[in-house]
Amino acid sequence: MADPSRPGRPVVLGQNQYGKAETRVVKITRHGALHHIKDLNVSVALSGDLDEVHYSGANAHVLPTDTMKNTVFAFAKEHGIASAEQFGIRLARHFVTSRESVHRARVRVEEYAWERIETSGADSRPVGADRAAHSFVRTGRETRLTQIAYDGRACEVVSGLKGLTVMNSTDSEFWGYAKDEYTTLQEAYDRVLATDVSARWRYAWTGDEQDAPHWDTSYAQVRKHMLQAFAETYSLSLQQTLYQMGARVIDSRSEIDEIRFSLPNKHHFLVDLKPFGLENDNEVYFAADRPYGLIEATVLRDGCEPRIPVDLTDL
Amino acid sequence: MADPSRPGRPVVLGQNQYGKAETRVVKITRHGALHHIKDLNVSVALSGDLDEVHYSGANAHVLPTDTMKNTVFAFAKEHGIASAEQFGIRLARHFVTSRESVHRARVRVEEYAWERIETSGADSRPVGADRAAHSFVRTGRETRLTQIAYDGRACEVVSGLKGLTVMNSTDSEFWGYAKDEYTTLQEAYDRVLATDVSARWRYAWTGDEQDAPHWDTSYAQVRKHMLQAFAETYSLSLQQTLYQMGARVIDSRSEIDEIRFSLPNKHHFLVDLKPFGLENDNEVYFAADRPYGLIEATVLRDGCEPRIPVDLTDL
Amino acid sequence: MADPSRPGRPVVLGQNQYGKAETRVVKITRHGALHHIKDLNVSVALSGDLDEVHYSGANAHVLPTDTMKNTVFAFAKEHGIASAEQFGIRLARHFVTSRESVHRARVRVEEYAWERIETSGADSRPVGADRAAHSFVRTGRETRLTQIAYDGRACEVVSGLKGLTVMNSTDSEFWGYAKDEYTTLQEAYDRVLATDVSARWRYAWTGDEQDAPHWDTSYAQVRKHMLQAFAETYSLSLQQTLYQMGARVIDSRSEIDEIRFSLPNKHHFLVDLKPFGLENDNEVYFAADRPYGLIEATVLRDGCEPRIPVDLTDL
Amino acid sequence: MADPSRPGRPVVLGQNQYGKAETRVVKITRHGALHHIKDLNVSVALSGDLDEVHYSGANAHVLPTDTMKNTVFAFAKEHGIASAEQFGIRLARHFVTSRESVHRARVRVEEYAWERIETSGADSRPVGADRAAHSFVRTGRETRLTQIAYDGRACEVVSGLKGLTVMNSTDSEFWGYAKDEYTTLQEAYDRVLATDVSARWRYAWTGDEQDAPHWDTSYAQVRKHMLQAFAETYSLSLQQTLYQMGARVIDSRSEIDEIRFSLPNKHHFLVDLKPFGLENDNEVYFAADRPYGLIEATVLRDGCEPRIPVDLTDL
């Protein structure tokens, strides 16, 4: 729709959305003295019949972003947080089904992992033999991610992770590459390969007519397969490792149709110690910050359409 | 192409690209004692005939990312850096035209602005009356961005900025919005409106058969129009302000076909001072971090296709 | 005092303090349509008679940190924010004089600078010819800092800045240094010298029996002298430049007794372009991240005691 | 020494030091196919006879910071990295004993923890039953820290950690506190207590005439005692919890004389769900960013001098 307030103006509104980003909700579930914790960062974005607010500032179709924040908190109480995915699906459906002017909702969730603190014998409040009932330490592991999109008909669930830092201290080579007049790199027959895995995978599931995956199991299994494929691939290039990581996930997890990776090649340069009369037999490395290689690719189940965007985003 | 090494495996490679990210190049140009500085962060990504390296690790089509870094430095010397856009265009074309296996190059550039240090009379090396010839201070203003994509036929230039933080201390209202059972927000008839502008705009120019825009002038003018539209719009919603910012750019700059914004609503909450016997007549605010509203939209020249992705990315 | 709850336990409490950190207060002052803005981040720390709360959890002497936050907001209304220093002095005195159990207060303030947006002729709300009355853009310049300590008798005011990034593109050398068996560095007779200035300076003023400095003028003058000394020193080492920056401040500003700097040597390495048949005549540099040199020193007015700690801290 | 180049100038040089910060060294130790990894960030600072370089730029006493970087790499090869502490001690002693003009060396080390990737049965290169021999994943746990200071006579070793995030979901109260005219906080009889532990502890050991502690064991034990004391203290204030954490370390670890904590009170605010007809029975919390309480204190072995500075620093 062209701007009605300025007929003839050659300017139109395109894709638009709005919402509340980064609502930090922590949910404690109590089973007597035994507590469980969910720690999420939730971002909601809605789109729909919103031309008018852009053209004139008339807010009749604008549910305040403050209300979205309230809804996140209220739903945590009313429905609990079984998993990031389930919580996001419920929120996304709510906004689309409860308001005619909302045509699409996208909910993104970051989840931070906690584990129980090991206790001493002195603790009078143990869970099992040696774990605190309501004391936790953040694991600091990778951040778990999910994005739910719902348009009134189908759900699209893309889950993932970021900040999973891995290293192989051998079994990586890089040679036989193309060369031009600006190439000075020496071939490497035994190098360190390190990366921060950022991955997103799309589930085949699109709605309740199908059985939903067990989201937590699926997450744990994808993580395990990625780590194992990284560790168990003798690598001739980071691209090859990436493909093996993706292929193993697609091979092993029938609930997933597509996975995309963004893998920085965290260069570890062998330090030249010859000036000091020392040999460096693949022992001492300088871990560089910038620049870094960046390898990105999608791996698909044969016959499936790619739907994860080229640039991975978090929030 | 399906994985040739594992016939029958139901896994295929999708979109993929690789490159060197964040090469930090600083170019000093000397006109006698008078120096000029360009300070860029350059990220290159190439795509093309790269299936083989993913499937088997054969690197014959892989130009090392180290070579891309070298090329950035060498081109800074050979061709200079007239502007981030021109430098990026030259790089993108180079990679596609010099290698048959490269079908598309994307170059992203961040640019950091410096200004000359004002000197005292004591300085024996002045530029003009009062500016140092080779001493600079970073302005700390917003970061200038550009992304060049070249596929062998056309260039697409999307420039932008991030980190432009603005505030109106009045002339902003928010009321008349939709309400549901989770709505508790009070209507506001005089509020602070603040945001960190992140914007990307796409140029109509696609190649040398057209006159290229004057990139630096265009950047300065877009920035000016955005700031003025922000300051001069009496705002009933951040969406309305966003649209006015975009429309003014499209109206004023014929070289630009499309602009997209991502505007966090940096909430400034009026502090309740009544418990202390004080009135807060729109004077004292708490600047909150999270959560925040997030308003995103594209504004287009009528008849143009939108091409900027929904999620803005930097590097 | 030893822990009274466990007589004989060989453990004692040492220095301790507590407070509310990072209260983000924004104050708008309205002179009719013309608005002024102060944007601060305030951290309060109190110490005094607080052994009991550590030993037993008895909070009778503990003013809640929430109250400190409230006080920041209330004082912004009641007393305004003439400058970061004056606001901090008022807060620090308040906590010590209003509570017997508080023996010392330390208030740290970060201040973010804003400037008015230039307006178009279309603006109906100009300040002067060309500046908006209530629309602002953050300058992004360095962050201004101050720390006030008050112990019931004297104030100590240490102001400063961080994030002032500067570069000389010539007039810097580095040679004649000590060498040992691990030295490989080549001498440099024309190099880039760049740093992020972090500085703290202590005022001679300690209380109202003396005239207080004009804090804003003093800040502006110190900044100017540091920049000029950086620009106007032909440098044989970053230490020499640091000393000249400090000495010029002490020479020029009689209200300041001591200044300390922490200057990272932001290395700009000349890129070797010979493999590409190119000369690099001090034109193309790689701006490295880590590691970096770090030069730290205090410069004092003769006869004054140094009181700024070795490690500079922000909050 | 006063500035000899400007007799009569009332300016003198105070405390000063210089060095190379953040050398990122990774050491791989190979026992056949079984690899071990040490991943450190090392910062060196030297002080001594350095007046001349500040006054005139004469570098004869300045060992280049580049040489310090080289020394870090060379020592990793020559001597290995048994622990962050041992590596730092060796470096600190080297600089002081090898150069007459260096009177004091301070070495700071950050260490990042890695663990072995669990492998599938398919892996042909297992360590034990189920762990990769040379594939690692960063744990993301807290960062381990140490600082070594050596002045030619004694070593001072202060180790520590940062980024250890913990939470008790109950067994925390806060009431009975002081109140003034700015106090609005409601008393809490069951609240969430969460913090990011930053701690530094000083070892009694000062040199080889004493047996050195087993640094890795000591670190693991201090961490365990802090976590257990956090979990097992029924808390009436974060100060009480802090003291218990420190006292348990001093009680349990005879090799440690002093420990200092900086504990942000990461506020988790109970969300008011009454407007939605819901009770919030300590279930749903908003995790706030700023402002936050900040509790800092030293706990000492009786009779020992405090030597850890008030402000904890990392690098």
Size of interface A-D (CB pairs under 8 A): 204
- CA-closest candidate to residue A54, choices A16, A107, A92: A16
Q: Is residue C1 part of a domain?
A: no
> A11 is written with which tokens?
């300017």
Q: What is the pLDDT of residue D2?
A: 66
For residues C256 and C306, membership in a common domain is answered with yes
Q: What value does the mean pLDDT take over residues D6-22?
A: 94
| Interface probe, candidates B145, B243, B269, chain A, greatest A C-beta count within 10 A | B243
D65-79 and D84-98 helices cross at what angle (nearest 10)? 130
Q: What is the pLDDT of residue A126?
A: 45
Q: What is the pLDDT of residue B130?
A: 75
Long-range (24+ apart) CB contacts under 8 A made by B312-315 are B312/B160, B312/B198, B312/B200, B312/B260, B312/B262, B313/A311, B313/A313, B314/B108, B314/B110, B314/B145, B314/B162, B315/B21, B315/B22, B315/B41, B315/B43, B315/B108, B315/B110
HEC states along chain B? Answer: CECCCCCCCCEEEEEEEEEEECEEEEEEEEECCEEEEEEEEEEEEEEECCHHHHHHCCCCCCCCHHHHHHHHHHHHHHHCCCCHHHHHHHHHHHHHHHCCCEEEEEEEEEECCEEEEECCCCCCCECCCCEEEEEEEECCCCEEEEEEEECCCCEEEEEEEEEEEEEECCCECECCCCCCCCCCCCCECCCCEEEEEEEEEEECCCCCCCCCCCHHHHHHHHHHHHHHHHHHCCECCHHHHHHHHHHHHHHHCCCEEEEEEEEEECCEEECCCHHHCCCCCCCEEEECCCCEEEEEEEEEECCCCCCCCCCCCCC
Q: Is residue C158 part of a domain?
A: no
For residues A166 and A65, membership in a common domain is answered with no
D182 and B276 within 8 Å at the Cβ level: the answer is: yes
A136 and D167 within 8 Å at the Cβ level: the answer is: yes
D125, pLDDT greater than 90: no
Tell me which of A122-131, A151-160, D231-240 is least confident. A122-131
- CA-closest candidate to residue A16, choices A146, A109, A103: A103
Scanning the structure block, which residue is given the tokens 């050195």? D212
**Which among A36, A65, A143, A298 is annotated as catalytic?**
A65
CATH of the domain at D104: 3.10.270.10
Q: Which of C15, C183, C184 sits opposite D298 (nearest CB)?
A: C15
Long-range (24+ apart) CB contacts under 8 A made by A246-250 are A246/A297, A246/A298, A246/A299, A246/B11, A247/A299, A247/B3, A247/B9, A247/B11, A249/A201, A249/A222, A249/A225, A249/A299, A250/A299, A250/A300, A250/A301, A250/B10, A250/B11
Q: What is the pLDDT of residue D243?
A: 98
| Angle (nearest 5°) at CA B203 between B315 and B103 | 60
| Alpha-carbon gap, residue C116 to C6, rounded angstroms | 61
Chain A residues closer than 8 Å to C289 by CB: 289-290
B24 and A291 within 8 Å at the Cβ level: the answer is: yes
| Alpha-carbon gap, residue A64 to A42, rounded angstroms | 16
| Alpha-carbon gap, residue A313 to D100, rounded angstroms | 54
- CA-closest candidate to residue D173, choices D91, D233, D83: D233
- CA-closest candidate to residue C112, choices C133, C81, C91: C81
Amino acid at C4: P
C123, pLDDT greater than 60: no
Chain B residues closer than 8 Å to C163 by CB: 140
For residues A140 and A212, membership in a common domain is answered with no
User: For chain D, what is the mean pLDDT?
Assistant: 95
Domain range for A118: 15-153
Dihedral sign of CA atoms B22, B25, B26, B27 in order: negative
D182 and B289 within 8 Å at the Cβ level: the answer is: no
State the smallest CA–CA distance between residue B43 and chain A in angstroms: 9
Q: Which of A16, A24, A295 sits opposite B18 (nearest CB)?
A: A295
Chains in touch with D (≥3 Cβ pairs < 8 A)? A, B, C
- Name the residues of D annotated as catalytic: 20, 65, 267
How many structural domains does chain A have? 2
Q: Which of A118, A141, A169 sits opposite D35 (nearest CB)?
A: A169
Q: Is D248 buried (19+), middle (13-18) or exposed (0-12) by CB count in 10 A?
A: buried
Select the more confidently predicted residue: C8 or D274. D274
Q: Is residue A70 part of a domain?
A: yes
| Residue C106 CA to its chain's centroid (Å) | 14
**Which among A20, A38, A69, A225 is annotated as catalytic?**
A20
Q: What is the pLDDT of residue D35?
A: 97
For residues D28 and D139, membership in a common domain is answered with yes
Q: Is residue B5 part of a domain?
A: no
- Name the residues of C annotated as catalytic: 20, 65, 267
pLDDT per residue over D245-262, tens digit each? 999 999 999 999 999 999
Q: Which of D27, D170, D232 sits opposite A119 (nearest CB)?
A: D232
Q: What is the pLDDT of residue A128?
A: 57
Q: Name the closest residue on chain D to residue C23, using Cα atoms.
A: D291
Strands A34-48 and B193-203: unpaired
Chains in touch with B (≥3 Cβ pairs < 8 A)? A, C, D
A28, pLDDT greater than 90: yes
Q: What is the pLDDT of residue C130?
A: 75
DSSP A274: G
| Interface probe, candidates B22, B25, B27, B28, chain C, greatest C C-beta count within 10 A | B28
Q: Is residue D66 part of a domain?
A: yes
Q: Which of B184, B275, B290 sits opposite D275 (nearest CB)?
A: B184
Q: What is the pLDDT of residue A131?
A: 87
Domain end marker among A153, A187, A213? A153
Phi, psi of A217 (to 5 degrees): -60, -45
Q: Which of B182, B276, B289 sits opposite D276 (nearest CB)?
A: B182
> A137 is written with which tokens?
């330490």
Chain A residues closer than 8 Å to C182 by CB: 276
B136 and C166 within 8 Å at the Cβ level: the answer is: yes
Domain end marker among D133, D151, D169? D151
For residues C143 and C256, membership in a common domain is answered with no
Q: Which of A180, A240, A311 sits opposite B67 (nearest CB)?
A: A180
| Angle (nearest 5°) at CA C280 between C274 and C281 | 145
HEC states along chain D? Answer: CECCCCCCCCEEEEEEEEEEECEEEEEEEEECCEEEEEEEEEEEEEEECCHHHHHHCCCCCCCCHHHHHHHHHHHHHHHCCCCHHHHHHHHHHHHHHHCCCEEEEEEEEEECCEEEEECCCCCCCECCCCEEEEEEEECCCCEEEEEEEECCCCEEEEEEEEEEEEEECCCECECCCCCCCCCCCCCECCCCEEEEEEEEEEECCCCCCCCCCCHHHHHHHHHHHHHHHHHHCCECCHHHHHHHHHHHHHHHCCCEEEEEEEEEECCEEECCCHHHCCCCCCCEEEECCCCEEEEEEEEEECCCCCCCCCCCCCC
For residues D136 and D184, membership in a common domain is answered with no
Collapsing DSSP to helix, strand or coil, A101 comes out as coil
- CA-closest candidate to residue D15, choices D98, D88, D89, D103: D103
pLDDT per residue over B172-196, tens digit each? 999 999 999 999 999 999 999 999 9
Q: What is the pLDDT of residue B11?
A: 97
State the smallest CA–CA distance between residue D271 and chain A in angstroms: 7
B296 and A58 within 8 Å at the Cβ level: the answer is: no
For residues B163 and B274, membership in a common domain is answered with yes
For residues C31 and C137, membership in a common domain is answered with yes
Chains in touch with C (≥3 Cβ pairs < 8 A)? A, B, D
Chain A residues closer than 8 Å to D282 by CB: 28, 30
| Residue A309 CA to its chain's centroid (Å) | 13
- Which residues, listed in sequence order, are joined to residue A27 by a DSSP beta bridge? A38, D284
Report ipTM (2 d.p.).
0.96
State the smallest CA–CA distance between residue D181 and chain A in angstroms: 31
- Which residues, listed in sequence order, are joined to residue A94 by a DSSP beta bridge? none
Q: What is the pLDDT of residue A1?
A: 57
Q: What value does the mean pLDDT take over residues A155-167?
A: 98
For residues D274 and D163, membership in a common domain is answered with yes
Chain B residues closer than 8 Å to A175 by CB: 59
Q: Is residue D10 part of a domain?
A: no
C231 and B123 within 8 Å at the Cβ level: the answer is: yes
Q: What is the pLDDT of residue B126?
A: 45
B132 and C282 within 8 Å at the Cβ level: the answer is: no
D196, pLDDT greater than 90: yes
**Contact by Cβ (8 Å): C13, C5:** no
Neighbours of C57 (CB within 10 A): 22
Q: Is residue A133 part of a domain?
A: yes
Neighbours of B32 (CB within 10 A): 6
Report residues of chain B scoring pLDDT below 70: 1-2, 121-129
E strand or H helix at A260: strand A256-265
Cα dist from B291 to A70, A124, B187, D274, D283, whole Å: 11, 38, 19, 21, 19
pLDDT per residue over B121-139, tens digit each? 655 444 555 789 999 999 9
For residues D164 and D118, membership in a common domain is answered with no
C121, pLDDT greater than 70: no
| Alpha-carbon gap, residue B301 to A224, rounded angstroms | 48
> A160 is written with which tokens?
């993932």
**Which among B65, B67, B143, B298 is annotated as catalytic?**
B65
Q: What is the pLDDT of residue D70?
A: 98
Q: What is the pLDDT of residue D3?
A: 74
State the smallest CA–CA distance between residue D120 and chain B in angstroms: 20
| Alpha-carbon gap, residue C249 to C258, rounded angstroms | 9
For residues B172 and B211, membership in a common domain is answered with yes
Chain C residues closer than 8 Å to B168 by CB: 134-136
Q: Is residue D7 part of a domain?
A: no
Q: What value does the mean pLDDT take over residues C156-171?
A: 98
Q: Name the closest residue on chain C to residue A278, using Cα atoms.
A: C182
B65 assigned to active site: yes
Q: What value does the mean pLDDT take over residues A223-251?
A: 98
Q: What value does the mean pLDDT take over residues C93-102?
A: 98
D126, pLDDT greater than 70: no
Chain C residues closer than 8 Å to D299 by CB: 11-14
Q: Which of A10, A174, A177 sits opposite B63 (nearest CB)?
A: A177
Where residue D128 falls among pLDDT bands split at 50, 70, 90?
Answer: low
pLDDT per residue over C240-288, tens digit each? 999 999 999 999 999 999 999 999 999 999 999 999 999 999 999 999 9
DSSP3 helix / strand / coil % (chain A, rounded to 5): 25, 40, 40
B224 assigned to active site: no
For residues C171 and C295, membership in a common domain is answered with yes
Tell me which of C254-268, C275-289, D5-19, D46-60 is least confident. D5-19
What is the pTM assigned to this prediction?
Answer: 0.97
State the smallest CA–CA distance between residue C42 and chain B in angstroms: 11
Q: Name the closest residue on chain B to residue A242, using Cα atoms.
A: B54
Q: What is the pLDDT of residue C129?
A: 54
D309 and C306 within 8 Å at the Cβ level: the answer is: no
State the smallest CA–CA distance between residue A70 and chain B in angstroms: 6
| Alpha-carbon gap, residue D54 to D62, rounded angstroms | 11
A125, pLDDT greater than 70: no
Domain end marker among C97, C129, C153? C153
Where residue A5 falls among pLDDT bands split at 50, 70, 90?
Answer: confident
